[in-house]
Structure 1
Amino acid sequence: MSTQGEILWVDDEIDSLKSQIMFLTNKGYIVTPLSNGYDALELLKEKIVDVVLLDESMPGLTGLETLGKIKEMLPQLPVVMITKNEAENIMEEALGSQITDYLIKPVNPNQVLLSLKKIMDGKRLVSEKTTVAYQQDFRNLFMALNDNPNHEEWKELYKRLVYWELEIGKSDSSEMMEVLQTQKAEANSEFFKYISKNYAGWIKDNNKTGPLFSHKLFETKIAPHIKAGQPTFMIVVDNLRYDHWKAFQSIITESFRITEEDLYYSILPTATQYCRNAIFAGMMPIDIEKHFPLEWKNDDEDGGKNLYEEFFFANQLKHLKMDKLKWQYVKITNNDDAKLLEDNIHNYLTNDLTVVVYNFVDMLSHARTEMEVLKELAGDEISYRSLVTSWFEHSPLHRALRKIAEKNIQVFMTTDHGSTKVKTPSKCVGDRQTTANLRYKHGRNLQFESRDVLAFKDPKLAGLPTPNVSSTFIFAKEDVFLCYPNNYNHYVNYYRNTFQHGGVSIEEMVIPIIRMESK
């Protein structure tokens, strides 16, 4: 029989437990019996065990004292406390010391077995259950992908793919994750075809038949819920993907109740200066340039590209007849700004609307490209998600929200675009004015692999300004990144497997808008 695991059982009446130990031995466990805490601590210095069964009421070194010392030595070692005493304070102290489970004497052998299985097989059992459930849904997802989904159905498909990505990520099944990633790649291939076929038509009919886009986000999803006298926060976290949101949602729901979770579509290019300006102006970039030629900056022009968001937003509020609201715009680009927001958050409660632009996640993705240490820390989707979640949990933004969670407020959390991990290089040639972005480019006389991009030789068809008479915009598909032939291999190796944005993928274009209220 294969070994099920190594158990250390510590009880001052260990001789009376021979039948239970024999039962576990017959089930394939190796059990080391000891009668006191001192011997247990000595043994744990020398021997690796999977679980400790620990009697709470032992003479000399008590169970709780032994537990404390075990956790000092081996903080991750699972300990099951066995006690005669159900007194609340005993259990509270034990739970506070991070026991994994507890059993009340007299213990039944099957009870012990169940606890061990829960601890040692839990992850495997969850993994098996997740694998079976995903296998059952795999065919449904495959059929949905091949059934010409519309823009609403694409949102639901993406939600399901993210759900399985997070579930399989928890279960640690690398084989299933590989299958899912293949299915996600197929989804992105179909999504690119869908966007290529429909995008120009949606822009032409002013979005009457298409999805909700960036420039209609505030008017459609946020403005109807704003009331004078009730503080509302609109938080735009740059480059926040839907799977990032789902990963830290449980942290938010400790303080807030989610009243609506939806997805909307970023305009192209999925880059901050286009999407975020569109959100704040309530206009497509071509119309922003037309109405505000001095404030709009094209890629090849000098100056900051997102310096006029507050100005654009004031104009949108006026257009929506909401300019009587008391509102404020706050931009967070560094830790000092973030600390100021946290320290002064109560002052914003006198506003009807406070808009917060938070730039951290975008900086993280750029830093990950530039810094080797972050490439190691966020080497794949799971670790990148984990890094974003860890940032949010310990961020001044989270602390600021917690400070005001007791008040009667509503919060909208959204983003301007997502990002995707790029793997496939594609050669692109342009003149000196051609933009440097890896997922989209515009310029004169662009030469490119047409199968790798969505191209607009007339930018107006994509709702975009025309920087030069013969400007062409191209948007990379799926996991493609655009490289110049000069020094080609160096750039391919440098940028491959980095997270980029600007092109056409579900992760970049289909992004979250969340409405929540304090509990």
Structure 2
Amino acid sequence: MNHINILWVDDEIDLLKPHILFLEKKNYNVTTCKSGTEALEIIDDTNFDIVFLDENMPGLTGLETLNEIKERRANLPVVMITKSEEEYIMEEAIGNKIADYLIKPVNPNQILLSLKKNLDHSRLISEKTTSNYQQEFRKIAMDMSMVNSYEEWADLYQKLIYWELQLEDIEDVGMTEILESQKTEANAQFGKFIEKNYTDWFEKDADAPTMSHNLFKNKIVPELSDKQPTLLVVIDNLRYDQWKAFEPIVSNYYKKTSESSFYSILPTATQYARNAIFSGLMPIEMEKRHPDYWKNDTDDGGKNLFEAEFLEAQLKRLGLQNLKTEYHKITNFQAGKKLVENFKSLKNNDLSVIVYNFVDMLSHSKTEMEVVKELASNDKAYRSLTLSWFKNSPLLEMIQKAQQMGFKLILTTDHGTINVNNPSKVIGDRETSLNLRYKTGRSLTYEAKDVFVVKDPKDIQLPSITMSSSFIFAKGDMFLAYPNNYNHYVSYFRNTYQHGGVSLEEMIIPFVVLNPK
């Protein structure tokens, strides 16, 4: 163990000889002195890990010494030792950020406990977390070989996220690598599960999870009431772990009444998944019923321009046309600020919907994508970026206003996103769609093991662009690359965040209902 340097300041230091010997036996280095003035001189010349400070000394009192120490060494932990249990002394000391507080007479074990608490705290926590994960690791590995339903996959994914966040603060590279390999393995198994079961979910009376197209009917409608306005926020591209990263901030204003997950439809891309949420229909039905609103991959123009109209049509079908509803899409900071300023006007709506294009703001153009690549080279960094964005975003201001005005809050997303690392070659014709995680078109050539293939789009309720169009969806962390200009393309897109394909991160996404505190 590295030697820990302790400074012990007490005008009756000679009486503490046994304590000091006890600590030295345990390999601690103890420097002693008898007054505050002397302590400050020593602190100027020597680096200590912790200070034990007697409160009641002639000359500079303990509290005065404490103030001086904190001015010089703000981060040096100081443990106050006092005969007095008077409240004001405790309050003063605590107000001055003492690390601990001991009442005389102290016994050696109290001292030891205080040292462990203050100096070994992070080490002890990381050891405990590591050993807990090691136990859980075996259980997760066993579960993974047996998981066979959409509920179990959602649970397993939650477990992986839980451990990822637990291990995040621990600088244990080995553990993080083990978790990463577990996530990769989980995605490989999940890909097989989706291949085997996804098509069946669209059969009549199938046992299927709540998905994008029935989210509104299954999960949102039951939450609506005429007694309390509801704010539904759909944050574009939000993964489950990113929600977990900023949940603590939301919980300053709102308490969670329920949290669950649902499955994004394939392709896990905005034009499909988000339109499905607002229309309450699968894409094949959207094309049939609303040909003016639906656009296929190869059609020109924006693909998400009619969400408000889709929503209106869905509410009508559900017999909720009298619901006073308002829809806002926020694609930049200014638009967010403007809505914050006019937020009071939402008070009289039964349902206010805000689509918030967070990822668009981060990575809208290719050059900004380079910035994201730099700032978010892995999931931990990506979560941290999300958190910093959220803390400073107009969205947080909206949530604060919604809380003050008594809104129920529903937070969800259209699909998640995955950091792609492995290219898979694909060949298509001119009409093939451009997305990196899925392709649709005629006569596609691809590596069968890397993709989930759907020969007939009707099987999964998707429109066909031509009679012979098929869909392929990249699995795990694959991205689809054309052979021409292959190396440039691969190095440009490797280690970027993409969506459209089959992974836990893209498909299993959060749905959270909260009430104002």
Normalization by structure 1: what TM-score? 0.92
Q: What are the residue-to-residue correspondences of 1:2-21 with 2, within 5 Å?
A: 2-21=1-20
- Tell me what 1:275 maps to: 273
Between Structure 1 and Structure 2, how many residues are aligned?
Answer: 517
Aligned counterparts of 1:396 and 1:99: Cα–Cα separation in 2? 37
Structure 1 stretch 434-443 or stretch 60-69: which is displaced more?
Answer: 60-69
1:430 to 428, 431, 454: 428
Aligned counterparts of 2:94 and 2:172: Cα–Cα separation in 1? 30
- Tell me what 1:226 maps to: 224
1:491–1:26 CA distance, 2 compared to 1 (3 A): same
Aligned counterparts of 1:319 and 1:220: Cα–Cα separation in 2? 14
Q: What are the residue-to-residue correspondences of 1:63-212 with 2, within 5 Å?
A: 63-64=62-63, 66-68=65-67, 70-71=69-70, 74-203=73-202, 205-206=203-204, 208-212=206-210
Tell me if structure 2 keeps the 8 A contact 1:155–1:510: yes
- Tell me what 1:52 maps to: 51
- Tell me what 2:314 maps to: 316
1:488 to 486, 489, 494: 486
Shift in Å, 1:132: 2.3
Aligned counterparts of 2:310 and 2:241: Cα–Cα separation in 1? 29
Identity percentage of aligned residues = 55
Structure 1 stretch 370-379 or stretch 139-148: which is displaced more?
Answer: 370-379
Shift in Å, 1:58: 5.2
1:15–1:518 CA distance, 2 compared to 1 (3 A): same
Amino acid at match of 1:137: E
Aligned counterparts of 1:93 and 1:137: Cα–Cα separation in 2? 44
Shift in Å, 1:412: 0.8
Aligned counterparts of 2:93 and 2:394: Cα–Cα separation in 1? 32
Aligned counterparts of 2:92 and 2:321: Cα–Cα separation in 1? 56
2:465 to 464, 467, 472: 467
Amino acid at match of 2:440: H
Aligned counterparts of 2:15 and 2:378: Cα–Cα separation in 1? 51
Aligned counterparts of 2:62 and 2:370: Cα–Cα separation in 1? 46
- Tell me what 1:447 maps to: 445
1:107–1:412 CA distance, 2 compared to 1 (3 A): same
Amino acid at match of 1:513: F
- Tell me what 2:238 maps to: 240
For residue 339 of structure 1, give the secondary structure of its aligned residue in structure 2.
Answer: helix
Deviation readout 1:247-291 (Å, 9 max, x if unpaired): 222222222221111010000011111111100010111111111
- Tell me what 2:347 maps to: 349
Deviation readout 1:144-176 (Å, 9 max, x if unpaired): 211242011111111111111111223332212
1:183–1:5 CA distance, 2 compared to 1 (3 A): same
Shift in Å, 1:115: 1.3
Tell me if structure 1 keeps the 8 A contact 2:232–2:352: yes
Q: What are the residue-to-residue correspondences of 1:324-343 with 2, within 5 Å?
A: 324-343=322-341
For residue 516 of structure 1, give the secondary structure of its aligned residue in structure 2.
Answer: strand
Mind listing any 5+ residue stretches in structure 1 that lack a counterpart? none
For residue 474 of structure 1, give the secondary structure of its aligned residue in structure 2.
Answer: strand
Tell me if structure 1 keeps the 8 A contact 2:362–2:369: no
- Tell me what 2:285 maps to: 287
Aligned counterparts of 2:432 and 2:175: Cα–Cα separation in 1? 41
Deviation readout 1:154-204 (Å, 9 max, x if unpaired): 11111111111111223332212211211111111110001011111212x
Aligned counterparts of 1:441 and 1:76: Cα–Cα separation in 2? 55
- Tell me what 1:409 maps to: 407
- Tell me what 1:216 maps to: 214
1:357–1:94 CA distance, 2 compared to 1 (3 A): farther
1:355–1:121 CA distance, 2 compared to 1 (3 A): same
Shift in Å, 1:60: 5.7
Amino acid at match of 1:51: I
Deviation readout 1:88-114 (Å, 9 max, x if unpaired): 444444434433332233333211210
Tell me if structure 2 keeps the 8 A contact 1:368–1:374: no
- Tell me what 1:305 maps to: 303
Amino acid at match of 2:249: I
For residue 437 of structure 1, give the secondary structure of its aligned residue in structure 2.
Answer: coil
Deviation readout 1:446-498 (Å, 9 max, x if unpaired): 22111111122222222112123332221100010111122222222222222
1:469–1:132 CA distance, 2 compared to 1 (3 A): same
For residue 169 of structure 2, give the secondary structure of its aligned residue in structure 1.
Answer: helix
Amino acid at match of 1:158: Y
Structure 1 stretch 391-400 or stretch 508-517: which is displaced more?
Answer: 391-400
Shift in Å, 1:387: 2.0
Aligned counterparts of 1:44 and 1:431: Cα–Cα separation in 2? 74
Tell me if structure 2 keeps the 8 A contact 1:12–1:58: yes
Deviation readout 1:9-63 (Å, 9 max, x if unpaired): 3445544433333222221112233445555555555544332334445566554
1:122–1:436 CA distance, 2 compared to 1 (3 A): same
Amino acid at match of 1:102: Y
1:64–1:479 CA distance, 2 compared to 1 (3 A): farther
Structure 1 stretch 409-418 or stretch 129-138: which is displaced more?
Answer: 129-138
Structure 1 stretch 446-455 or stretch 6-15: which is displaced more?
Answer: 6-15
Q: RMSD across aligned C-alpha pairs, in angstroms?
A: 2.5
Mind listing any 5+ residue stretches in structure 2 that lack a counterpart? none
Amino acid at match of 1:292: H
Amino acid at match of 1:388: T
1:456–1:45 CA distance, 2 compared to 1 (3 A): farther
1:124–1:293 CA distance, 2 compared to 1 (3 A): same
Aligned counterparts of 2:370 and 2:11: Cα–Cα separation in 1? 53
Tell me if structure 2 keeps the 8 A contact 1:257–1:518: yes
Tell me if structure 1 keeps the 8 A contact 2:363–2:372: no
Does 2:354 align with 1:360? no
Aligned counterparts of 1:10 and 1:375: Cα–Cα separation in 2? 51
Aligned counterparts of 2:222 and 2:136: Cα–Cα separation in 1? 37
Does 2:404 align with 1:400? no
For residue 148 of structure 2, give the secondary structure of its aligned residue in structure 1.
Answer: coil
Tell me if structure 1 keeps the 8 A contact 2:363–2:369: no
Shift in Å, 1:433: 2.6
Tell me if structure 2 keeps the 8 A contact 1:367–1:374: no
Amino acid at match of 2:435: N
